[in-house]
Amino acid sequence: MPDMASEAMLTVADKAPVTSERKLRTDLDNNLLKPYMARAMTASDTDNPNGTSGHKHHNASVLQQHVAFFDQDDNGIIFPWETYKGFRDLGFNVVASFLFMVLVHGAMSYVTLPTWLPSPFFPIYIENIHKAKHGSDSATYDTEGRFIPTNIENIFSKYARTVPDKLTFKELWHMTEATRNAFDFFGWIASKLEWGVLYLLAKDSDGYLSKESVRRCFDGSLFEYCAKMQKDDMKKME
């Protein structure tokens, strides 16, 4: 007689080969309390159960923290010129920074506005940034902007085949293909662009994108770190 309790916990179904190809970790609760529970203010994973050490959340959601770096004057509103400067601070050139500015504000401004009337200045209101969440993503943010530890762990258990907890560009591309929702053309493009920019920003010398870089991107602390490194490098060249 089959053990029904054991079967209920299986993560692979023989008639669905994709469940075998994209494996899940089953030991998350050994290292992280309630890994399935969405965290409002910390980007926790099995290696960082309390989130990023030294990173201040200021009582903002993880998604709000993710974009706060670009709020140059810390007034809760991100204007296009602030986004442009933020990308320049991260080390992107003038053309790339301008292009990212246009894409980000063109896609996200209107849905975050507190009124139905559009603004000619294309601002992004951080308070409403959860409304800019799109489909075909990793679902590591929930619809309110909280952080779900299980889902960042799933990214790497499913798609990091070459090195555990690191993604090659090919594996990253495969991940964005696998998370696509049907007919979600905007989400497909947005996901490719977001992960592509992150890869350019944070890949190591061997061409890998680490889980730690991805996790810190989610809470925005990666941007602060990269901007500081960029500033230090510029000082050394003076």
Q: What is the pLDDT of residues 217-227, one digit of tens each?
A: 999 999 999 99
Q: Decide: residue 165, CB within 10 A, 0-12 exposed, 13-18 middle, 19+ buried.
A: middle
Q: What is the mean pLDDT of residues 131-159?
A: 98
Distance from the Cα of residue 175 to its chain's centroid = 13
Confidence of residue 81 (pLDDT cuts 50, 70, 90): very high
Q: pLDDT digits over 183-218, tens only? A: 999 999 999 999 999 999 999 999 999 999 999 999
Q: Are 191 and 179 in contact (CB under 8 A)?
A: yes
Domain ranges of the chain: 60-132, 135-238
For 101-112, what is the mean pLDDT?
A: 98
Q: What is the mean pLDDT of residues 140-162?
A: 98
Q: Do residues 224 and 69 lie in contact, with contact meaning Cβ atoms separated by under 8 Å? A: yes
Q: What are the C-alpha distances in Å from 76 to residues 35, 71, 125?
A: 30, 7, 6
CATH 1.10.238 given to domain 60-132:
yes
pLDDT value, residue 1: 46
Instruction: Give Cα separations from 12 to 138, 159, 171, 212 (angstroms).
Output: 20, 16, 21, 27
